[in-house]
Structure 1
Amino acid sequence: MHRAHPARTVRWALASLVIGLLVVAGLPSPAAATVSSDRLAPGVTYEEFTRTTARGVVHGHLVEVDLRNPFVVVDLLTAGAVAARAPLSTQANERRAIAAVNGDFFNVSNTQPGVPVTGAAVGPAIGGGRDLKAAVPDRQRFGPGLPAGTSTRDVIGVGVDRVGRLATVAFEGKAHTTRGGFAIDGFNQYALPMNGIGVFDSEWGTPSRKRSTCGTDTTREAPCSDNTYELTVRRGKVVQATTEPGEGAIARDTVVLVGREEGADTLRELEPGDRVRVDYDLAPNTYIPFRFAVGGFPVLRDGQPLAGLNATTAAIRSSAGVSQDGRRLYLMALDGASAGLTIAELAQLMRDFGAASAVNLDGGGSSTLVARKVGEPAVAVRNHPSGGVERAIPNGIGVFSRLG
């Protein structure tokens, strides 16, 4: 369990007292105030801050990264598989990250009886330059409502050119057989579009693939499809066919195709021994490939908050943003005991820090920011997660220093 730091508690109390005295005196309160700051490594700084809102004082934590620094690397953190979860500090320590913030929203609960929770993230994921998963249908996502013009395919990431940017990542897939070809509609997703076919590979992990056939394109809580089919394809040949999606680890030389409704009918046309070649790829709408990318819905783009952002519902939030030139990355998480921010306030906060574009990441009990200085043995949880302890999550954004 993360324990409150006495000195930090005193600093927050003093900051809150000063703000309160300013308000009582009729003087304008500061929009934001730095409580403390520190350099974690060349090109990486950490800051505690407070910000005043109509609901009270918000406490938060910020890591700023200079992506031009040759000693700095940013990459996706995971729990070892798409459908796996672990606390952010565990993920960061296993990879020797010096800082990290939690990532995407994820499959945190199911209403379908007997269907296990996968823990897989909502949006696309790319780590170490490798495609890990595609986005679920918009209505199958978890999290607050999407702003107009955004979707589950939106990501923030850093390209192989070391420039941070927002993008939309589509999925492209097709299977080729002696009987003809057919489209693949999903990749390592906990939810497939109706009538679709999904491909699962070794990155998925061990949980059941049943959840991918549950819900509909309009209702996440809808029952699972009663028309499903699964094919196991090893080294380009169908080796097994079943009517129910299975579970367990998938070998690196194997992919599993899961179909629902019309997609299930298509898969039934194949049988063990048939040759199948499955091609699939994530396709960002950018010319520069991503080194890493994680799902999150945009709240700030090109220096302007998106139109129609929610300005009434406050919550504990996490965010990632990039400067106008894409050379600086901002990772932020609020303290669980804070008053919280609306989505509109989050966009303004990230702009005040220097971001020109930013996304809202998973919040509430998932909001976590960890950090350590180069040379220290392990990261510390710098915020106070709202649940009192770290939540197990599927992924995060990790910052690494080549200096250790």
Structure 2
Amino acid sequence: MTRRNARFRRTVLTVLAAWSALAGAALVGAAPASGAQSGTEIAPGVTYRELDIPAAKGVTHAHVVSVDLRDPRVRVDLLHPGVVASRAPVSQLADTRGAVAGVNGDFFNITETQHPGVEATGATVGPAIASGHTLKGAVPDGQRFGPALPAGTTTKDVLGVGVDGRARLDSLALDGSLRTKEGRLPLGGLNQYALPEGSIGAFTSDWGSVSRVRATCGTDADRAAPCSTDTHEVTVRGGRVVASADTPGTGPIAAGTTVLVGREAGAQQLRKLSAGDPVAVRHRLVAADSRIPYRFALGGYPVLTGGQPLPGLDNATSAVRTAVGIADHGRRLLLLALDGAPAYRSGLTIAEVASTMRGLGSEDAFSLDGGGSTTLVAREPGAGTVSVRNHPSGGAERPVPNGIGVFVRS
């Protein structure tokens, strides 16, 4: 660690000790926004630093990357392996795209112990947009992997950056339909590991090659419920049906091809289609709060809005966490990852995460996947590849389906 970072850590500890006795959720008080601008510059507009955070269950160690979105050379985008149903370490995702820094992203379908013989897809819970391109929609709330959602939040919640370069919290809902000879039908999902009961979902080349069976398992309220026994799949190419099957298939989907998977009432509608029938599929993600298109967005859940923690945040369960803060009215992002080394593994509660992000100057903050997924990478000054800056709690990087990448144009 540089002398500059060591001095900064000592300063942060002194300030934190003076702020409060660290009781309840108000653990770190409110740090001045300028504090998040200190650290080591790893690229123009991007700084990295470390700090210790006293918490109810002991001191934890944090790694923070501050991203100045006002700098025209700087942008953030989704890191992902190229398809939705796939995973890779954050360092690999960052180096493949040439990112100077990054963190892991959304919660995901990591296991399928409740459904023997069904393949876990690795796909994320929430919506995803990469470079302005819509990759997927959100699964039903009851199908979510991860800790319980705070009251008033849903799987549709996202953190995104618009084409105006400002970061925002928002909610993205799928708006889609398919038009057949019998009329228009609603589309219930897009490249999702779980479809709403009775719906039809669309899978494109963005999905990948993993089996689509998981999309018909569970219910809107119970992820562990049995898989549906009433399913049907139709393949559409060039605007016409070219194949159908009663069981969702596997394997890559060619560009320009859409596979429609139906369960229950949706399956019954798809069975009415025959080879050669015309089918037109349309889909988009609609933002609840912004009319400005998103260049990048990923799922998680909000913990801080307008400088205030969400009511009822859990303040009992401590863990290694990843979070993102929005500061300076959307002009700065703060990427935070806790260290998973044994000395710091007690971590933070979600309530402590909200207070920490506010103390770092965030007006809004968003929780991402934590535990063994928590990974922050950043380049050393002058380096051509990133280094993992925190200690992943599993001892090595966990492959993840997406993350936030920081890019700087020379």
Q: Same fold (TM over 0.5)?
A: yes
User: Aligned residues: percent identity?
Assistant: 55
Any conservation in 1 of the 2:380–2:387 contact (CA below 8 Å)?
A: no
Contact 1:318-1:360 at 8 Å conserved across structures = yes
Residue 276, structure 1, aligned to residue 302, structure 2: no
Q: Any gaps of 5 or more consecutive residues in structure 1?
A: none
Secondary structure at 1:325 match in 2: helix
Residue 64 of structure 1 corresponds to: 66
Confirm whether residue 264 of structure 1 aligns to residue 271 of structure 2. Answer: no
Q: Distance in 2 between matches of 1:61 and 1:277?
A: 47
What corresponds to 1:334 in structure 2? 338
Provide the residue aligned with 1:351 in structure 2: 358
Please state if 1:174 is matched with 2:177: yes
Partner of 2:408: 401
Shift of 1:370: 0.1
Q: Do structure 1's residue 319 and structure 2's residue 319 form an aligned pair? A: no
Partner residue, 1:144: 147
Is 2:123 aligned against 1:116?
no
Offset from partner CA, 1:67-96 (integer Å, 9 cap, x none)? 010110110000111000000000000001
Matches of 1:398 and 1:280, distance apart in 2: 26
Say whether 1:306 aligns with 2:313: no
1:252 Cα deviation after fit? 1.0
> 2:200, 2:381 → 1: CA distance?
46
> Of 37, 40, 43, which aligns to 1:38?
40
Q: Does 1:292 align with 2:299?
A: no
Residue identity matched to 1:64: S
In structure 1, C-alpha distance between the alignment counterparts of 2:154 and 2:182, rounded to whole Å: 35
- The CA distance in 2 between the partners of 1:220 and 1:274, in whole Å, is 34
2:377 corresponds to: 370
CA contact (8 A) 1:302 1:324 kept: no
SS at the partner of 2:317? coil
Q: Give the unaligned 5+ runs of structure 2.
A: none
Asked if structure 1 preserves the Cα contact closer than 8 Å seen for 2:234 and 2:261, the reply is: yes
Distance in 2 (alpha carbons) for counterparts of 1:45 and 1:343 = 25
Q: Check if 1:219 corresponds to 2:222.
A: yes
The answer to whether the 8 A contact 1:58-1:340 is kept is: yes
The answer on whether the counterparts of 1:202 and 1:250 sit within 8 Å (CA) in structure 2 is yes
Tell me, in whole angstroms, the C-alpha distance in 2 between the residues paired with 1:177 and 1:138: 29
Cα separation, 2, equivalents of 1:257 and 1:31: 49
In structure 1, give the amino acid aligned to 2:327: S
Question: Is it true that 1:77 corresponds to 2:84 in the alignment?
Answer: no
Residue in structure 2 matched with residue 207 of structure 1 by the alignment: 210
TM-score, structure 2 normalization? 0.91
Deviations 1:195-214 (A, max 9, x none): 01100001000000000000
Post-superposition, which runs of at least 4 consecutive aligned residues in structure 1 deviate over 4 A? Answer: 27-34
Q: Deviations over 1:70-125 (max 9, x none)?
A: 11011000011100000000000000100001100000011201110100000000
Using the alignment, how far apart are the partners of 2:335 and 2:48 within structure 1? 9
The question of whether the paired residues in 1 share the 8 Å contact of 2:28 and 2:359 is answered with: no
Q: Secondary structure at the match of 2:214?
A: helix
Displacement of 1:179 in angstroms is: 1.9
How many pairs align?
390
Contact 1:78 / 1:395 at 8 angstroms: preserved in 2? yes
**1:46 Cα deviation from its structure 2 partner:** 0.5
CA distance in 1, matches of 2:21, 2:270: 66
